[in-house]
Amino acid sequence: MDTSQYLHPDKELMTREEIEALQLERLQKTVRHCMNSPFYKQRFESIGLTPDDIKSLDDLRKIPFTTKQDLRDTYPFGIASVPLDKCVRLHSSSGTTGNPTVILHTQRDLDEWANAVARCLHMVGLRPTDVFQNSSGYGMFTGGLGFQYGAERLGMLTVPAAAGNTLRQLKFIKDFGTTALHAIPSYAARLYEVMVEQGIDPRKDTKLKTLVIGAEPHSEEQRRRIENMLGVKAYNSFGMSEMCGPGVAFECKEQNGLHIWEDYYIVEIVDPETLEPVPEGQIGELVLTTINREAMPLLRYRTRDLTRILPGECPCGRNHKRLDRMQGRSDDMIILKGVNIFPIQIEKILLQFQELATDYLITLETLDNNDGMTIEVELSTLFTDDYARLEKLTKEITRRLKDEILVTPRVRLVANGSLPKSEGKAVRVKDLRKKF
Amino acid sequence: MTIQQLSVFVENKSGAMLHILNLLKAEGIQLLAVNIADTVEYGIFRIICSEPSKAYNVLKDAKVSVTLTDVFAIELDDEVGELANVLEIFNKEGISITYLYSFLLNGKGIMIFRTIDNERTREVINLNHLKFITEPNLYTLV
- Confidence band for A422, pLDDT divided at 50, 70 and 90: low
Residues of A in contact with B9 (CB under 8 A): 379, 382, 413, 415-416
Cβ contact, residue pair B64, A385, below 8 Å: no
> Is some CB atom of chain B closer than 8 A to the CB atom of A382?
yes
Mean predicted confidence (pLDDT) in A111-118: 98
Cα gap A137→A162, rounded to integer Å: 5
Q: What is the pLDDT of residue A166?
A: 92
Is the pLDDT confidence value at A217 over 80? Answer: no
CB A135 within 8 A of CB A161: yes
Which residues, 6 or more positions from B10, have their beta carbon under 8 angstroms from its beta carbon?
A415, B16, B17, B20, B36, B42, B43, B44, B45
A383-417 pLDDT tens trace: 888 899 999 999 999 999 999 898 999 999 998 88
State residue A36 phi and psi, 5-degree precision: -80, -10
Chain A residue with the nearest C-alpha to that of B116: A386
The full set of domains in chain A, from first to last, is: 1-331 (3.40.50.12780), 334-432 (3.30.300.30)
- Confidence band for A425, pLDDT divided at 50, 70 and 90: very low
Query: Would you say the C-alpha torsion A296, A298, A301, A305 has a positive or negative sign?
Result: positive
**For residue A341, which amino acid is it?**
I
**Beta bridge mates, B5:** B69
A323-371 pLDDT tens trace: 998 887 787 788 888 888 888 888 889 988 988 887 889 999 988 888 8
List the CATH code of the domain at B71-141: 3.30.2130.10
Question: Out of A379, A386, A387, whose CB is closest to B65?
Answer: A379
Alpha-helix residue ranges (DSSP H) falling in A291-379? 343-350
Where does chain B hold its CATH 3.30.2130.10 domain(s)?
2-69, 71-141
DSSP B60-125: HHTT--EEEEEEEEEEE-SSTTHHHHHHHHHHHTTPPEEEEEEEEETTEEEEEEEES-HHHHHHHH
> Is some CB atom of chain A closer than 8 A to the CB atom of B63?
yes
Chain A residue with the nearest C-alpha to that of B16: A415
Is the pLDDT confidence value at A424 over 60? Answer: no
Cα gap A386→A21, rounded to integer Å: 64
A145-167 pLDDT tens trace: 999 999 999 999 999 999 889 99
A297-330 pLDDT tens trace: 999 999 999 999 999 999 999 999 999 988 877 8
List the CATH code of the domain at B2-69: 3.30.2130.10
Closest Cα in chain A, distance from residue B79 (Å): 30
Cα gap A323→A345, rounded to integer Å: 17
- Eight-state DSSP code of residue A213: E
